[in-house]
Amino acid sequence: MASSNISMLNKTSSNAASDECFTPPEAVEPLLRHLRKDMRWYEATSGASKSIVNCMQGHGFDCIEGNGDFFGDLPDFDGIVTNPPYSKKDKFIKRCYDIGKPFALLLPVSAMQGQKRGAMFAKYGIDLLVLNQRVDFTGKGAPHFGVAWFTWGILPEPLMFTDIRKK
């Protein structure tokens, strides 16, 4: 990874040794309006932070934690909601399409670009729930990149914009 990318991840991630960014509830709540409560949702990367799982369960959703291996055997679920490591976004997107169940991945807006991703999006389709402000993953203020929920099989329209409310 280029040194500028490592520097950016160290500034924005919750864990300087990785690109792990803990997802605050205000980033998850706008998506909840579009998720079905009668489905079991799988948070593939809950790991050290269970913020997405806790937020979803707190709003009455059936959401289960990942076991740390999204690319191995998976539990029984109906859809995926996760904030994957951005360094592995192509692998996560491909795996989600291969699974064939509704998914929502919180990714940098710049993830719209890329040859591999573009080919997958063109082949299978992708919908975006764009947040109206940047998400502060660290609590340090001044986040410097925007994110959106990249979804498949969830949103009623291909491109939607939504407000987030800071707590």
Structural contact between residues 165 and 26, judged by C-beta atoms closer than 8 angstroms = yes
How long is the chain?
A: 167
- Domain membership of residue 17 (yes or no) is no
- Domain membership of residue 2 (yes or no) is no
Q: State the distance between the two ends of the chain, measured CA to CA, in whole angstroms.
A: 34
* Enclosing domain of residue 157: 23-162
- pTM for the model: 0.87
> What is the domain count for the chain?
1
pLDDT at residue 37 tops 50 = yes
- Domain membership of residue 3 (yes or no) is no
> Rounded distance, CA 144 to CA 148, Å?
14
- Domain membership of residue 13 (yes or no) is no
pLDDT at residue 92 tops 80 = yes
- Domain membership of residue 167 (yes or no) is no
Supply 120's token pair. Answer: 């997958």
- Domain membership of residue 94 (yes or no) is yes
Provide the CATH number for the domain around residue 68. Answer: 3.40.50.150
What's the pLDDT score for residue 105?
Answer: 98
Give me the phi and psi of 92, to 5 degrees please: -65, -45
Supply 19's token pair. Answer: 């690109």
- pLDDT tens digits, residue range 127-158? 999 999 999 888 888 788 999 999 999 999 99
- Domain membership of residue 133 (yes or no) is yes
- Find where tokens 């975006």 sit: 128
